[in-house]
Chains A and B, each alone.
Chain A
Amino acid sequence: MELISEGKEAVLTGIQLAGNKQIGSTQQNIESISKPAQIKYDNLAIFKEDRLMGWLTEQDSRGYSGITNSVKSTVTSISCPNEGKSTIEVTNFHSKIEGNIVHGKPEVNIHTKAEGKVGEVRCKIDLKNPEAIQELEKIYEKEATRIINETIHVLQQEYQSDIFGFGEAIHRSNPQEWDQIKENWDEEFSDLTVNVKVDMKIRLTGTVNSSFLEKIKN
């Protein structure tokens, strides 16, 4: 689909052969319990039209999945308000891409709504305090916004390949303007303004309401 679509480029999951290639092609490979040659999922491959442009890093792959709504559930490690780390279990992640033309220049707004639980706390934080939860929400929002922004930046600067479908979004919202810019969309894409807004709601804290770490003295 993406190969023929205007305003969206293709992405594929990379598959890698890890280990010894020679043994991998023989029957010997499946006779032992830990196989000498195995197939592994790798990073995402970026295409432009039908040419392979490069590979996304792990973090950029997360950003890509977030923007294109392919996240069902995930865990994200974020830092605590003071020090240490905590983990958020994301149970719902939904992004909406909206195209717009402002002063003759295309613009894209990404609005993400996420819901989650506190999965793990490895720092001193008083979860019994409602403000602590709000702080964690803010930190998560910042972190998610950063990842998405960085992913977009990498795609704009290094590959000039619109894998997110921003072009399609503008086509949907402003069909007339799209006709004019679609010819040189790749250049337009690389200096496109993208506004990212993430809205996180933490609803549950698992089976306990606070962490024992808070009680441990230095």
Chain B
Amino acid sequence: MQNIKINPYQFMVLVVLFSVGTSILIVPSFLASETKQDAWIVAILGTAIGLIVIWLFCLIAQWFPDLTFVQMMEKVLGRWLGKAASLLFVFMSFVYTAILLYYSGTFLNTHLMPNTPMVALNILLAIIIVMGVRLGLETIARSAEVLILICLIFFLFLVFFISPQVNFDNLQPVFEAEPKKIVQTSLSFIEVTSVNAIVLLMIFPAFINTGIKAKKFFLIGNLLGGIVIIIFTFLCVAVLGAYNTGIELYPGYALAKRINVGEFIQRIEALMGTLWIIALYYKATIYFYVTVLGFAQIFNLKDYRPLTIPFGIIAVVISIVIFQDVIYQQRWNTTIGLIFSYTIGYSYLFY
């Protein structure tokens, strides 16, 4: 179990997919509803601060180059306290797995398959997540390496075809939002893209063949993910306008619907959906992998694989009951989820 190694490039791909994950479709809406046309500035600020957060994570990793996060915690906090803290960490990761399942379920239910029950959609995604995790980190990383190319092609395709519709009037006046508001909003942004990346400390540096030297790739991966989100936020605001971006649930998808090149290339929003589902799949898989691996390490199990199926079933159930409706979920994201992630993300930095 400990002999798994992935190379730094594969790790970078995972980081990119992780930070892009949920964000590209959802984050622009949240940013625009808070800061109007300055949303893209928030995205830039958020990415910059996010890099500092990642750098801090790397700093911790440097002290214990061979251990996973759960093992680090046990070493620093002592046996019982360390295990308790790890349990909370694993719990967070597990809840996020379920939340991502919920995201994909509601998205498919709203836009692509309105009459399919959400349970069925969540079970389908959970099956491939469990399958991926059972096959191990190396398989996940290699498949990510292949699929990132597809993502990249789709992404360039969308950016290229939507660019004629960019209207710079939508971005003016610049810096209308108060600086305080910009900083506040960027906190939530950092939560999704960087603070939650603490779960990646389960993979980095222990499972990477060059060890701590892969730090550079962690940072680059996060930066690339940030750039993708900045571009998307910018396009959403510039094409749809700040108000429309703010009230859409999935502005990235609405953006792709606007594509119309010469009355010929149009209605390609399913590409956007595909791109998002791929990225979301890897994010959920990483969360789930961290959950089962962390759980196995806390209880000194030899292998995490027997845990995957029961945990997968529980995740599906949680994903259905966790939020009563989409509005509640949005409120949760900006309040409880924010505090939750920050507590776990930061309190561990200061031990």
Contact = CB atoms under 8 A, between A and B. Distances in A.
A95 B347 CA distance: 50
B115 A130 contact: no
Contacts, number: 59
B248 A205 contact: no
B247 A133 contact: no
B22 to A, nearest CB: 16
Contacts of A203: 106, 118, 324-326
B170 interface: no
A133 B325 contact: yes
A144 B114 CA distance: 23
Given A91-B115, A207-B249, A209-B247, A127 B254 contact: no
Contacts of A129: 327
Interface in B291-321: none
Interface centre among B111, B243, B249 (most CB of A within 10 A): B249
B303 to A, nearest CB: 38
A49 B97 CA distance: 57
B250 interface: yes
A133 B326 CA distance: 10
B115 to A, nearest CB: 7
Interface in A86-143: 91, 127-130, 132-133
Given A206-B110, A207-B249, A209-B249, A130 B328 contact: yes
B29 interface: yes
A150 B15 CA distance: 59
A30 interface: no
- Most central of A132, A208, A211 by chain B CB within 10 Å: A208
Given A204-B106, A209-B330, A130 B254 contact: no
A151 to B, nearest CB: 27
Given A91-B115, A201-B324, A202-B325, A208 B331 contact: no
A130 B332 CA distance: 10
Interface in A182-218: 201-212, 215
B7 interface: no
B209 interface: no
A128 B110 CA distance: 17
Contacts of B325: 130, 133, 201-205
A201 B117 CA distance: 14
A161 to B, nearest CB: 34
B338 to A, nearest CB: 16
Nearest to A212: B247
B110 A207 contact: yes
B109 interface: yes
Contacts of B114: 91
Contacts of B29: 209
A130 B327 contact: yes
A203 B253 CA distance: 20
Contacts of B253: 207
Interface string B103-133: 0001001110011001000000000000000
Interface in B228-286: 243, 247-250, 253-254
Contacts of B254: 207
A124 to B, nearest CB: 14
Contacts of B110: 204, 206-207
Contacts of B111: 207
A91 B115 CA distance: 8
Contact of B328 (A73, A133, A208): A133
Nearest to A92: B117
Interface of A: 73, 91, 127-130, 132-133, 201-212, 215
27 contacts: A73-B115, A91-B114, A91-B115, A128-B330, A130-B324, A130-B327, A133-B325, A201-B324, A203-B326, A204-B106, A204-B110, A205-B326, A206-B110, A207-B110, A207-B249, A207-B250, A207-B254, A208-B247, A208-B248, A208-B249, A209-B29, A209-B248, A209-B249, A209-B327, A210-B247, A212-B243, A215-B243
Given A203-B325, A204-B110, 9 more contacts: A73-B115, A91-B114, A130-B324, A133-B325, A133-B327, A201-B325, A203-B324, A207-B248, A207-B253
Q: Which 7 A-B pairs have the closest CB atoms?
A: A130-B328, A208-B247, A210-B247, A203-B325, A209-B249, A130-B327, A133-B325
